[in-house]
Structure 1
Amino acid sequence: MKDENFIEYMGGYLSVVATGADSVPRSLELWKQIVAACEEYDCYNILGQSRTGGEFSTMDAFKHIEIFREAGITWKHRIAWVAADPHKYEDLKFIETVLRNRALVNGHLFRTTEEARHWLLAHPLEHENTPKRSESSAS
């Protein structure tokens, strides 16, 4: 399977399909492309699908903290990501947990495109997971 990223503006969201093999450099490139497309179309709703092979190691999962920061992912980016394959879902669920624990992702991982699209478009102004600042971090 060839490493390719397909990003298409669909009106209310960007449709992203990633194919090929998983790697940290490839993830960084994908997220940079997504951020550029968000800016180009002034659209920050992202419906992504992983059709990739391979697994991320635990260290690779933690490297996604820096990937998201370097790519420019912010809280305005609403990400609904789909991993239909059960093994890929578990792999990406760990990455989602790492990013959520650091308040770096405004999004969810889903098993179906329908669930992801529904979440993404049902409440476009939803801020249910807005990161809260603690007084100790405001010094």
Structure 2
Amino acid sequence: MENRLEVTFEGDHILVRADGDKDFLYLERLWRDVAAACKKYNCFNVLGIANTTTPVEAVEGYETPALFQQFGIAQHYRIAWVENNDDARDMIEFISAVLANRGLPGRLFDTESEARQWLLGSD
């Protein structure tokens, strides 16, 4: 699968499509682009839909809070994330736990519908 990162404004949320192999540089680009779009559109609801072929290493995932701090991602953000590849889900669960332990936003969902419901209050 080709690496893809698309960050678009959808009116009431920022939509992130993040497919392919992931590494620290990919994460850095992803969260930089998300933060820039959120600031540009003054919209801090983020829906991420991913199909990861190769997840980041644990040490890279552990650095995600530093990226959030670097790009100003804090409590005013609501981040709902869906990982469609079950083989990559464990790493996203780890990152979600790291963020939660530091009081940072981000929840992992099984389906896009569940994520949208939590993020926006409707399907």
Query: TM-score of the superposition, structure 2-length normalised?
Result: 0.91
Q: 1:62, 1:95 within 8 Å by CA — same for their partners in 2?
A: yes
Show the counterpart of 1:82: 82
Gaps of 5+ in 1: 124-139
Q: Which amino acid aligns with 1:86?
A: D
Show the counterpart of 1:5: 5
Q: 1:16, 1:48 within 8 Å by CA — same for their partners in 2?
A: yes
Gaps of 5+ in 2: none
Identical counterparts, % of pairs: 34
Show the counterpart of 1:110: 109
Stretches (4+) displaced over 4 A = none
What is the Cα-based RMSD across aligned positions, in Å? 1.5
Show the counterpart of 2:96: 96
Show the counterpart of 2:32: 32
Between 1:45-54 and 1:1-10, the stretch displaced more is 1-10
Describe the superposition over 1:29-56 as per-residue Cα deviations: whole angstroms up to 9, x where unpaired: 1100001001111110000011222122
What SS does the corresponding residue of 1:68 show, helix, strand or coil? helix
CA distance in 1: counterparts of 2:15 and 2:33, whole angstroms: 12
Paired residues in the alignment total 122
Q: 1:28, 1:71 within 8 Å by CA — same for their partners in 2?
A: no
Q: 2:53, 2:85 within 8 Å by CA — same for their partners in 1?
A: no
CA distance in 1: counterparts of 2:14 and 2:56, whole angstroms: 24
CA distance in 2: counterparts of 1:58 and 1:65, whole angstroms: 13
